Amino acid sequence: MAVDTTRLRFGDMIAGASAVLLFLFTFLRWFKATGEGGEEAPDALADAFSFNAWEAMPILTFILLLCILAVIAVVAIRATGQQINLPVPLGTVILGAAALALLIILFRLLLTPDPSVSFLGQEVNVKDNDGEVGRSYGIFLALLAALGMLAGGFLSARERGEAIPGVGAGGGPGAGAGGPLGTGQPAGGYGGQPAGGQPVGGAPAGGGPGAASAGAADPGAGAGAGAGAAGAGAGAGAAGGGGNPAPDWYDDPRGEARLRYWDGTQWTDQTAN
């Protein structure tokens, strides 16, 4: 499968880069053990009394890893143009994973963990032995990375015209361009027929498969034109596959553009504003 970075929007790149950075930041120092009065360990023991995310909160860090992988997977799917059917748009996956990662980090910023320290051959917990757990630079960098994932997911959804939970459909400048089909299911479903089987009202400017039929009728043709229009309607119904809506431009069920072309059996990747 070919990777084409031109398929990515600016928000996708921000979210993906932030996810990679967050993974790297989990190996930095997040917490440090201090004495009861806040005094820090001597430099020679600094490594033994400091903890990265994996050492201080292994279970929550594993959940963080799943959030990171979810964001990277969405970016990879979009870069390769794969068709993935999900009950929600892919932008919502990025937003959900980023929000969960942010909540985990904020939780540990407010309530620090109680990691254990190896002391004289024994494992002792910092807080259980009158010690304190302070925050270090790693968790603050991780907080910025999680905010970057969230901002990137929000921007990507706006650029692609995807619905944002609690906000509504995006309306960025690139919303009408559309993405490859199958990169996420809209809220109303994407695999069905046009609602009600009624066209929006002719092909938009610029042509397309439905453009030729938009001006086919000649107002001066009289009764012959009416008969021709009736025959054309019957032919369109047959092309639609017996009961399927006729090929035409309809409201885009995915919300990426105003109109999307239905070829009589399935949605195509032709969109128009």
18 vs 132: which has the higher pLDDT:
18
What is the predicted pLDDT for the residue at 195?
A: 58
| 163 domain residue, yes or no | yes
| 217 domain residue, yes or no | no
Q: Are residues 9 and 133 in the same domain?
A: yes
| 120 domain residue, yes or no | yes
| 215 domain residue, yes or no | no
Q: Are residues 241 and 164 in the same domain?
A: no
Q: Are residues 157 and 251 in the same domain?
A: no
Q: Are residues 123 and 241 in the same domain?
A: no
Q: Is pLDDT above 70 for 209?
A: no
Which residues neighbour 96 within 8 Å (Cβ) at sequence distance 6 or greater?
A: 70
Q: What is the mean pLDDT of residues 146-163?
A: 89
Q: Is pLDDT above 90 for 83?
A: no
Q: Which of the listed residues 151, 169, 187 is the one where a domain comes to its end?
A: 169
Q: Are residues 134 and 49 in the same domain?
A: yes
Nearest one of 19, 22, 25, 26 to 152, comparing CA atoms: 19
Q: Are residues 244 and 124 in the same domain?
A: no
**H or E stretch including 19?**
helix 10-25
| 115 domain residue, yes or no | yes
What is the predicted pLDDT for the residue at 73?
A: 95
pLDDT tens digits, one per residue of 4-48:
778 889 999 999 999 999 999 999 999 988 766 555 654 545 566
Nearest one of 80, 24, 75 to 52, comparing CA atoms: 24
Q: What is the mean pLDDT of residues 262-267?
A: 77
| 101 domain residue, yes or no | yes
- What confidence category does residue 157 fall into, taking pLDDT thresholds of 50, 70 and 90? confident
What is the predicted pLDDT for the residue at 129?
A: 63
Q: Are residues 22 and 135 in the same domain?
A: yes
Handedness of CA 247, 248, 251, 254 (dihedral sign): positive
Number of domains in the chain: 2
Q: Which of the listed residues 169, 190, 224 is the one where a domain comes to its end?
A: 169
What is the predicted pLDDT for the residue at 211?
A: 43
Q: Are residues 14 and 147 in the same domain?
A: yes
| 248 domain residue, yes or no | yes
Contact (Cβ atoms closer than 8 angstroms) between residue 190 and residue 267: yes
Q: Is pLDDT above 60 for 164?
A: yes
What is the predicted pLDDT for the residue at 180?
A: 39
- Structural domain range at position 268: 237-273
Q: Are residues 23 and 102 in the same domain?
A: yes
What is the predicted pLDDT for the residue at 39?
A: 59
| 220 domain residue, yes or no | no
Q: Which of the listed residues 109, 140, 169 is the one where a domain comes to its end?
A: 169
pLDDT tens digits, one per residue of 47-81:
667 899 999 999 999 999 999 999 999 999 999 88
